[in-house]
A and B are shown apart, each in its own frame.
Chain A
Amino acid sequence: MAFAFRIKQWIGRVFPQGPAGEDRLLLIVFGAMVGVCSGLAAVALNTSLHGMESFFGQYRYNWWSFLLPGIGAALSSIFLEKIIREGAGHGVPEVIYSVSRHGGLLRMRSTFSRLVSSSLTIGSGGSAGPEAPVVMSGSAIGSNIAKTFSLNERQRIALVGCGSAGAVAGIFNAPIAGLVFTIEVIVGEWTALHIVPVAVASVSGAQISRILQGNQIPFTHLHFDVDVTTTVAAAGLAVVTAGACVLLTRMLRGSHHLAGKVPVPLWVRAAMGGLAVGIIGLFLPHVLGEGYHVIRKMVEGSFDGGFLLVLTLVLAKILATSLTLGWGGSGGIFAPCLVIGSFAGLMFHRGVDALLPGLLSVNEGAFALLGMAGMISGMLQAPLTGIFLIVEVTGGYETILPLILVSVISSTVSHAFEPSSFYFRDLVKKGHYLRPRTDAKVLADLRVSEVLEKDCISVPKNMLLGDFLKVVQQSRRNYFPVIDESTGEFAGMVHLDDIRPYLFDSLLHDTVFLEQIMAADTETVDIDDELSDVLDRMDASGAYSMPVVSNRRFVGMVSKATLLDRYRKELMLQTTD
């Protein structure tokens, strides 16, 4: 740790902070470092995936090969739950949660756990992709490097983004997609503070991938003559891909929900899902694995089979992905989205061609590309990621006009049916989707203890009104907490308005006790309450301040005035680049 601290000091000396205290140069150095590491993680995942595929591939032609996805998913679950004890979720939502709630803190074990588990799931034939696991891995690498060098929260979030970008850039050999995905989905903040190091990390990740694996794009680059008819038809395709997105999202959710009701250990559950995928694969082998070889065929326009087969494959791939991921297999939804999207594109082209022969002059491969963009954009509700990813992985710019159209329409239609993307839905539901510079984020970063006003004078409930008036004379506050002196517990509140009726009758000063005039049913706030909830309760009751009580003891007051003051300071802190 001391060594890391010295390196950080050295980097700080070589790359001093700017006039406004910016640390961009420092972040560029760390961004490059994280990009290289996450690029290496992407290469490691690619290599292990190919290793697993060839290992399981030798058994693919046996009659019992339908068991393979079940075995892989079970091993994957055992590895995550019993060996690594990861308590794993889908991967990307965990990264977003960590960025939103905990300043990008991620566990060390996450740097490698998903690489192994997703290799087992996908290599054995499970319908999932390697991208989300490598994003998790890259982000965890960024987080742990930030931790080692004791970087602050803002810098750590930037390095988490760098890890994600380097990983996506490395696995797809697509640096722009890595940058855009990270800013659009993971960090959610288009500021130079993030864009600069993330871009550097993207370049590093892609460069490492090119050095170790060669400068190849995942899918063949073909020239497509895109005309105005194709661009207009892309709008129709967008509706189809949006429908597929909604279906996949709901099937994933339903599958996860159903699996949760089966009272068996997690690895048995994963095996059951994998077994079902294996059975589907017996009849439709195209649904197995990440499925890039099928996409290549579709993009090249050499995929056999008619409209009905492609329609069946769309539905089967959606089902297989839900069974793999919903029942406990490890992997992401990027690759299945690409496969489903290309099937959907092919299906749309063949459908239009059957109804209106000769209308679409462009090769059906172009529609496979457009389908992929529509599906990614709709599923992630991140149209820029869809556009740049497909342009980069196919090496073709000539389809850019329909690509933009299909991406924006697909994400908009998906949004109409599913207001939050697959990654964000649970986070939004639980109030954990907190983007920087938003009201929710500012409030979430403040605690009740930070806005606590402690200058209140507590008074015992058996105090006489006359004595209380002397206390009032010494205080500048309108509220007074009343305490039960025998237990020390909070009993209620007295507001100056409460004593007004008794003020001018001096006889009452020696006969009325505070217990008789206090408000015993005062609504209180717990020290652990969320400030957003506290504010909602204040709005609902019309109160400007509320007493904070912990373990039945009064600890202070929380008021809108102090809250606004701290809110403003926090907002200024978050919006300073």
Chain B
Amino acid sequence: MLHVFRNTPHGREELLQAAHFCNTVQASPVVYIPEFTKFLLYLENDVVQVDLDKTFLRSPETAREHVEEIMAEMNVDSWRFFVPRHFSTPALPDVPVGFHFMGCPHTIADLRSKAGAGYIGPRIRRILASATFPVLLFSPVFKPFTRIAVMFGGKANAATALRLAVRLHRLSGLPISMYTAEEGRRGRKYYEKLLSKNALTGVFAQSVSDWHIFPRKEFIDNLYRIPHDALVVMGAYGHGAIRQLLMGSTVEIIQAHLPNSLLIAGPHYRGMS
């Protein structure tokens, strides 16, 4: 799991979450301490320039030490630092994308006025739209999660989200709760058919402990049902800027109302090997 570290109290919370996530799902954190305020992610059909704010470059002399301390505190034995080998220009390192996960704050650029709940920065959205790995959006404060809540909305990427949740369940043993905001009057049968169509009925029966279906109109009210200590797993459709502007994004609605960490699989996520 790629983690871009910032040597600040917020950065500490983020790394604690990344470490806990990796311990839980048996992943190995790869920590990048940036030396420049930007880096490039060459994704399959896109190149995303990630512009970091200056907090990511704070106190470089203590950054390594702080990472080592946190990793020791969280008992992460299998981790390493990432040092870029390739540079597109002398001040623009390339960060490889062959990771299973990437950890991000919900906005990574210096947009303080927008860095509130309900806002996901454009760079993060681009990463989500093109990445072949899921992105973990950190909550403001570290809290160990003890269960998995998967959002199964019936859209194209819902099945991907459920598969990802099941995979995490197998790795961690954590129980899965499934949440569906019912569109119109489709009813439970519609979603069961959807599970069957995606060959997920068996997996669902074995792995999902409870399924909550509620009307789409009451979506925000029903987010209260999601446990405070759950890792929320969901799929993102990755629609374009105009549709985003007109219709908003479910990811942003959830991010605005839930303090939990979100693990989001974009449309190009192909599943874990």
Name A's B-contacting residues (CB within 8 A). Answer: 1, 85, 87-89, 94, 97-98, 101-102, 105-107, 109, 147, 150, 430, 432, 447, 449, 487-488, 528, 530, 550-553
B271 within 8 A of A: no
Tell me the complex Cα distance, A554–B47, Å: 31
Is the beta-carbon distance between B38 and A85 smaller than 8 angstroms? yes
Which residue of the partner chain, among B28, B45, B88, B98, contacts A97 with CB atoms under 8 Å? B88
Is the beta-carbon distance between A105 and B49 smaller than 8 angstroms? no
What's the least CB distance linking A76 to chain B, in Å? 15
The 8 closest A-B pairs by CB, nearest first: A89-B89, A87-B92, A551-B78, A105-B47, A551-B28, A102-B42, A87-B91, A87-B89
B96 within 8 A of A: yes
Which residues of chain A come closer than 8 Å to B96, judged between CB atoms?
528
Is the beta-carbon distance between A550 and B46 smaller than 8 angstroms? no
Which residue of the partner chain, among B36, B47, B86, contacts A87 with CB atoms under 8 Å? B36
Q: Which of B45-96 contact A (CB under 8 A)?
A: 45-47, 49, 51, 77-80, 85-92, 94, 96
Which residues of chain A come closer than 8 Å to B89, judged between CB atoms?
87-89, 94
Closest-by-CB residue of A relative to B42 is: A102
What's the least CB distance linking B113 to chain A, in Å? 18
Which residues of chain B come closer than 8 Å to A107, judged between CB atoms?
40, 47, 49
Which residues of chain A come closer than 8 Å to B46, judged between CB atoms?
105, 147
Which residues of chain B come closer than 8 Å to A87, judged between CB atoms?
36, 38, 49, 88-89, 91-92
What's the least CB distance linking A415 to chain B, in Å? 25
Which residues of chain B come closer than 8 Å to A101, judged between CB atoms?
42, 86, 94
Number of B residues, CB within 8 Å of A: 27
Which residue of the partner chain, among B79, B88, B240, contacts A551 with CB atoms under 8 Å? B79
Is the beta-carbon distance between A552 and B78 smaller than 8 angstroms? yes
Tell me the complex Cα distance, A449–B98, Å: 10
Closest-by-CB residue of B relative to A109 is: B49
Tell me the complex Cα distance, A49–B141, Å: 52
Tell me the complex Cα distance, A417–B240, Å: 52
Is the beta-carbon distance between B98 and A550 smaller than 8 angstroms? no
Which residues of chain A come closer than 8 Å to B78, judged between CB atoms?
488, 551-553
Q: A89-B92, A101-B42, A551-B80 are in contact. List 6 more A-B contacts (CB 8 A).
A: A88-B89, A89-B89, A89-B90, A101-B94, A487-B77, A551-B78
What's the least CB distance linking B267 to chain A, in Å? 10
Closest-by-CB residue of A relative to B48 is: A107
Tell me the complex Cα distance, A1–B242, Å: 11
Closest-by-CB residue of A relative to B43 is: A105
Is the beta-carbon distance between B49 and A1 smaller than 8 angstroms? no
Tell me the complex Cα distance, A74–B36, Å: 21
Tell me the complex Cα distance, A105–B96, Å: 14
What's the least CB distance linking A325 to chain B, in Å? 14
What's the least CB distance linking B233 to chain A, in Å? 24
Which residues of chain A come closer than 8 Å to B42, judged between CB atoms?
101-102, 105
Which residues of chain B come closer than 8 Å to A94, judged between CB atoms?
88-89
Tell me the complex Cα distance, A43–B98, Å: 40
What's the least CB distance linking B84 to chain A, in Å? 11
What's the least CB distance linking A526 to chain B, in Å? 9
Report which residue of B42, B45, B78 has the largest number of chain A beta carbons within 10 angstroms of its beta carbon: B45
Which residues of chain B come closer than 8 Å to A109, judged between CB atoms?
49
A-B CB contact pairs (8 Å), 21 listed: A85-B49, A87-B36, A87-B89, A88-B89, A89-B88, A89-B92, A101-B42, A102-B47, A105-B42, A109-B49, A147-B45, A147-B46, A150-B45, A430-B86, A447-B98, A449-B98, A488-B78, A530-B85, A551-B28, A551-B79, A552-B78
Tell me the complex Cα distance, A446–B218, Å: 50
Which residues of chain A come closer than 8 Å to B80, judged between CB atoms?
551
Closest-by-CB residue of B relative to A528 is: B96
What's the least CB distance linking B49 to chain A, in Å? 6
Tell me the complex Cα distance, A1–B45, Å: 13
Report which residue of A88, A94, A105, A552 has the largest number of chain B beta carbons within 10 angstroms of its beta carbon: A105
Which residues of chain A come closer than 8 Å to B49, judged between CB atoms?
85, 87, 107, 109
Which residues of chain B come closer than 8 Å to A447, judged between CB atoms?
98
Closest-by-CB residue of A relative to B39 is: A87
Tell me the complex Cα distance, A552–B80, Å: 10
Given A150-B45, A552-B78: A98 and B38 interface contact (C-beta under 8 Å): no
Tell me the complex Cα distance, A553–B77, Å: 11
What's the least CB distance linking B204 to chain A, in Å? 30
Mask of B20-38 contacts with A, CB within 8 angstroms, 1/0:
0000000010000000111
Which residue of the partner chain, among A89, A106, A432, A553, contacts B86 with CB atoms under 8 Å? A432
Tell me the complex Cα distance, A552–B91, Å: 31
What's the least CB distance linking A524 to chain B, in Å? 14
Closest-by-CB residue of B relative to A106 is: B47
Is the beta-carbon distance between B86 and A550 smaller than 8 angstroms? no
What's the least CB distance linking B102 to chain A, in Å? 15
Report which residue of A1, A87, A530 has the largest number of chain B beta carbons within 10 angstroms of its beta carbon: A87
Which residues of chain B come closer than 8 Å to A105, judged between CB atoms?
42, 45-47
Which residues of chain A come closer than 8 Å to B92, judged between CB atoms?
87, 89
Closest-by-CB residue of A relative to B80 is: A551
Tell me the complex Cα distance, A488–B28, Å: 13
Tell me the complex Cα distance, A550–B36, Å: 26
Which residues of chain B come closer than 8 Å to A488, judged between CB atoms?
78
Tell me the complex Cα distance, A550–B273, Å: 15
Which residues of chain A come closer than 8 Å to B79, judged between CB atoms?
551
Given A87-B38, A105-B42: A550 and B91 interface contact (C-beta under 8 Å): no
Tell me the complex Cα distance, A430–B89, Å: 12
Closest-by-CB residue of A relative to B30 is: A551
What's the least CB distance linking B54 to chain A, in Å? 12
Which residue of the partner chain, among B36, B77, B88, contacts A98 with CB atoms under 8 Å? B88
Which residues of chain A come closer than 8 Å to B88, judged between CB atoms?
87, 89, 94, 97-98
Which residues of chain A come closer than 8 Å to B94, judged between CB atoms?
101-102
Closest-by-CB residue of A relative to B89 is: A89
Tell me the complex Cα distance, A107–B79, Å: 31
Tell me the complex Cα distance, A87–B79, Å: 30
Closest-by-CB residue of B relative to A97 is: B88
